């Protein structure tokens, strides 16, 4: 803007001292802009689908040529002194008529971007249109020049001694009127342009019209209206330069190839786009926009159209439909009776509603999916649910929905497909059962192998009489059993990946009491176990931790004649917020902040020795406890009041997977 302000200032100074130079610079600028517009459009003629721009670009080539003749024939230039002011003015009128009529006709060449048009709009046809327009303008220009130079039948525009003729003055008003009409025509077709391009074109036409009015009433070369008309011409050509030339170079896709967006929109009207959660396109389905509107007459439809119209009927178990937002069907076609047991007429006459077929447990999901499809027209929605056929049989279906856009001709309606996927679902369920059976068999074999190892340890222990050696074998055997119990629970349980840890702890502690030959009357076991499901990666280390702590209590907490109690609790903390990073190596984790689950193993025995640091112990069992607490990224604390109480806090990675 600063540069243009400087240029205008220089031109103003020149106009005060040398009007001829000022006039020449203004006209040559308009000629330059006209030729550059032509070059941009002509070079892209095989790809340019916006025929408005193509038509205008070719027109400005000849308008620029007439303006060049007008400039060179101006009085004082001395290039064509024999032509005189009459011919000079005739060039001006011819150029302005050509410019205004071209701007009026150009919007007529803007075509609706239907699929049929896009199919026919080939590069050869675009190039042919460009050449036809060029030849037509060349013919008109030649006729005008012959009328001025040869036949001398072009109406006089200037008479020496009298000034401008009525023809010239009336022509200026007529040209202004044509320009205003072209502005209205452009406004009607404004959706074919980017907003900023439309505004620039409209402003250019407006300034051109005002310039014509100024030049129709000016009195002298240095008069106010004459200067104003020239400045308005500068600005009008500058604006059209910015609209076509500058935008065409800097952002060609918003101007020259804007129709690519209409190609996408036309494709969107005939296609359902399937996108994943990240919005990436992974599949698309074609659906003829008006395929349900009427039954085509077979004899009048080409063979490929027949095939296209019948694609819904030819795909087994596929239903195409269109609905109002209140779910009343507008159109339905396809394997309706095969999938539902009801006829097409049953649905279209509202005798049967689709929602009556949807199984009750899926209705909330069905309505939620429909609501999202209505609120997000740019994305398709997919849902799998069960329906009940007329004969009572249940079927699985997959539904794809998409709301039609404003440009579809049926705004507010929803189109979609329903596909019977019962056979696929049965195959998936069979495959899932096979997979579950395979995984359960793996857990069963692992459990058996661990039990074999336990038995081998037991047999090997019989070779030794030393009490410490026997104790080491028994501890190893118990650790193996604790792992075997995990696999047994996974084998016998309903889930493949998680176990009910409360059930597991009951079995584990009973086996431990049996292993140490504990008399229940002497040492009682109290269990306070909430229902917690843990994955194998957490359950196995935690099971070994409990095994070690209970074993320590049974071995060291009670003397031979002392009665006591071992208490185990498993609970979910209610104040869980987020993980703080506390682990087994940390020196404390106050109140287990940041952990979701808590296990307490306590006894009322003699108490844990003060001289032993349980975090850096010498015994293998406590070393194993600390290592495994760190492995599950948990936290452990010890209380020595009234016996021994170990508290382990931890989280379950399975919960995070479910939340994702």
Read off the pLDDT of residues 114-127 as tens digits, 9 standing for 90 and up.
444 444 445 677 78
Residue 176, pLDDT score: 93
Residue 442 corresponds to which tokens in the numbers above? Answer: 């793996």
What DSSP designation does 358 have? B
Q: Whole-number mean pLDDT of the chain?
A: 78
In this prediction, residues 40-49 reach a mean pLDDT of 79
Read off the pLDDT of residues 402-460 as tens digits, 9 standing for 90 and up.
888 766 666 678 888 898 988 888 888 887 777 777 766 766 677 677 777 767 777 77
Read off the pLDDT of residues 291-303 as tens digits, 9 standing for 90 and up.
444 444 434 444 3
Name the least confident of 181-190, 342-351, 380-389, 426-435.
Answer: 426-435
3-state secondary structure of 380: coil
In this prediction, residues 189-214 reach a mean pLDDT of 87
For residue 85, is pLDDT > 60?
yes
For residue 206, is pLDDT > 70?
yes
Residue 526 corresponds to which tokens in the numbers above? Answer: 């109290």
Closest C-alpha among 407, 418, 405, 414 to residue 285: 418
Closest C-alpha among 45, 44, 37, 85 to residue 65: 37
Read off the pLDDT of residues 227-252 as tens digits, 9 standing for 90 and up.
888 888 888 988 888 887 766 655 55
- For residues 263 and 56, the answer to whether their CB atoms sit within 8 Å is no
Q: E-assigned strands of 413-535?
A: 414-420, 498-500, 523-529, 533-535
In this prediction, residues 192-213 reach a mean pLDDT of 88
Residue 167 burial (CB count, 10 A): 17
Read off the pLDDT of residues 259-284 as tens digits, 9 standing for 90 and up.
555 555 555 555 555 555 555 555 55
What DSSP designation does 245 have? I
3-state secondary structure of 200: helix
For residue 364, is pLDDT > 70?
yes
Name 210's Cβ contacts closer than 8 Å, sequence gap at least 6.
Answer: 232
Name the least confident of 337-341, 348-352, 519-523, 542-546.
Answer: 519-523
The number of helices, as runs of H, and strands, as runs of E, in the chain is: 24, 16
Looking only at the bridges linking them, the beta strands covering 281-286 and 635-639 are unpaired
Name the least confident of 201-215, 243-257, 460-474.
Answer: 243-257
Maximum mean pLDDT: which of 44-58, 93-107, 342-356, 644-658: 93-107
Per-residue pLDDT band for 13 (boundaries 50, 70, 90) equals: confident
Residue 357, pLDDT score: 92
Residue 143, pLDDT score: 95
Looking only at the bridges linking them, the beta strands covering 414-420 and 381-388 are unpaired
CA–CA distance, 195 with 243 (Å, rounded to integer): 11
- For residues 218 and 229, the answer to whether their CB atoms sit within 8 Å is yes
CA–CA distance, 87 with 72 (Å, rounded to integer): 11
Residue 658 corresponds to which tokens in the numbers above? Answer: 């479910």
Residue 64 burial (CB count, 10 A): 23
More confident of the two residues 472 and 187: 187
Maximum mean pLDDT: which of 223-232, 278-287, 586-595: 223-232
Residue 118, pLDDT score: 44
- For residues 216 and 172, the answer to whether their CB atoms sit within 8 Å is yes
For residue 475, is pLDDT > 80?
no
For residue 580, is pLDDT > 60?
no
Read off the pLDDT of residues 610-655 as tens digits, 9 standing for 90 and up.
888 888 888 888 888 899 899 988 999 998 888 899 999 998 877 6
The stretches of 44-111 forming alpha helices (DSSP H) are 51-72, 84-105
- For residues 542 and 651, the answer to whether their CB atoms sit within 8 Å is no
∠ CA(368), CA(371), CA(377), 5° rounding?
A: 135
Residue 48, pLDDT score: 74
Residue 133, pLDDT score: 92
What DSSP designation does 557 have? I
- For residues 216 and 173, the answer to whether their CB atoms sit within 8 Å is yes
3-state secondary structure of 378: coil
Q: What percent of the chain has pLDDT over 70?
A: 77
CA–CA distance, 599 with 622 (Å, rounded to integer): 16
Residue 591, pLDDT score: 65
Helix H, strand E, coil C: the string for 94-151 is HHHHHHHHHHHHHHHHCCCCCHHHHHHCCHHHHHHHHHHHHHHHHHHHHHHHHHHHCC
In this prediction, residues 582-596 reach a mean pLDDT of 60
CA–CA distance, 430 with 436 (Å, rounded to integer): 10
């Amino acid at each position: 803007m600063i540069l243009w302000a400087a240029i205008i200032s220089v031109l103003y100074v020149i106009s005060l001292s040398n009007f001829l130079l000022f006039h020449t610079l203004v006209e040559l600028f308009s000629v330059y802009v006209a030729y550059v517009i032509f070059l941009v459009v002509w070079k892209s003629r095989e790809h340019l689908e916006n025929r408005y721009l193509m038509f205008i670009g070719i027109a400005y080539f000849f308008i620029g040529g007439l303006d060049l003749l007008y400039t060179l024939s101006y009085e004082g230039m001395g290039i064509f002194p024999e032509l005189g002011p009459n011919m000079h003015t005739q060039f001006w009128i011819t150029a302005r008529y050509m410019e205004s009529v071209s701007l009026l006709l150009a919007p007529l060449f803007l075509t609706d971007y239907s699929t049929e048009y896009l199919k026919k709009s080939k590069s050869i046809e675009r190039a042919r249109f460009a050449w036809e327009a060029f030849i037509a303008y060349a013919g008109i220009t030649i006729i005008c020049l012959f009328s001025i130079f040869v036949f001398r039948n072009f109406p006089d525009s200037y008479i020496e001694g009298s000034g401008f003729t009525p023809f010239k003055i009336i022509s200026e008003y007529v040209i202004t009127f044509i320009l205003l009409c072209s502005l209205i025509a452009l406004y009607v077709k404004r959706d074919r342009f980017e907003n900023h391009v439309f505004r620039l074109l409209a402003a250019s036409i407006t300034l051109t019209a005002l310039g014509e009015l100024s030049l129709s009433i000016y009195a002298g070369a240095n008069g106010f209206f004459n200067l104003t008309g020239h400045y308005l011409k500068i600005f009008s050509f500058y604006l059209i330069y910015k609209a076509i030339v500058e935008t065409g170079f800097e952002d060609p896709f918003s101007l020259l190839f804007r129709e690519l967006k209409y190609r996408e929109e036309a494709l969107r009207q005939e296609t359902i786009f399937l996108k994943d959660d990240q919005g990436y396109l992974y599949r698309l389905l074609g659906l003829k926009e008006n395929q349900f509107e009427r039954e085509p007459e077979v004899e009048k439809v080409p063979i490929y159209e027949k095939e296209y119209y019948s694609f819904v009927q030819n795909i087994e178990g596929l239903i195409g439909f269109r609905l109002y937002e209140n779910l009343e069907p507008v159109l339905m076609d396809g394997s309706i009776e095969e999938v539902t047991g009801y006829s097409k007429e049953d649905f279209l006459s509202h005798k049967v509603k689709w929602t009556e077929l949807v199984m009750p447990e899926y209705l909330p999901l069905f309505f939620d999916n429909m609501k999202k499809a209505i609120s997000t027209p740019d994305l398709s929605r997919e849902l799998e649910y069960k329906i009940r056929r007329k004969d009572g049989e249940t079927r699985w279906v997959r539904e794809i929905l998409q709301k039609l856009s404003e440009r579809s001709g049926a705004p507010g309606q929803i189109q979609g497909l329903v596909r019977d996927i019962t056979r696929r679902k049965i195959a998936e369920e069979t495959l899932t059962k096979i997979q579950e059976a395979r995984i359960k068999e793996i857990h069963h074999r692992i459990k058996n192998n661990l039990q074999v190892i336990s038995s081998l340890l037991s047999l090997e222990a019989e070779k030794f009489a030393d009490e410490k050696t026997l104790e080491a074998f028994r501890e190893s055997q118990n650790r193996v059993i604790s792992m075997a119990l995990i696999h047994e629970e996974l084998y016998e349980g309903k889930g493949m990946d998680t176990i009910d840890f409360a059930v597991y702890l009951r079995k584990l502690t009973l086996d431990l009491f049996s292993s140490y030959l504990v008399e229940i009357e002497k040492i009682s076991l109290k269990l306070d176990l909430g229902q917690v499901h843990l994955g194998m990666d957490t359950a196995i280390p935690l099971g070994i931790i409990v095994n070690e702590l209970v074993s320590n209590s049974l071995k060291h907490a009670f003397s031979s004649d002392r009665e006591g109690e071992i208490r185990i609790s498993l609970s979910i903390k209610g104040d869980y917020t987020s993980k703080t990073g506390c682990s087994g190596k940390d020196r404390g984790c106050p109140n287990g902040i940041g952990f979701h689950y808590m296990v307490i193993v306590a006894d009322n025995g003699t108490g844990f020795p003060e001289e032993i640091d349980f975090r850096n112990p010498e015994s293998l069992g406590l070393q194993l406890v600390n290592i495994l607490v760190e492995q599950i990224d948990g936290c452990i604390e010890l209380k020595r009041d009234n016996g021994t109480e170990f508290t382990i806090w931890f989280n379950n990675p399975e919960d995070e997977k479910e939340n994702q």
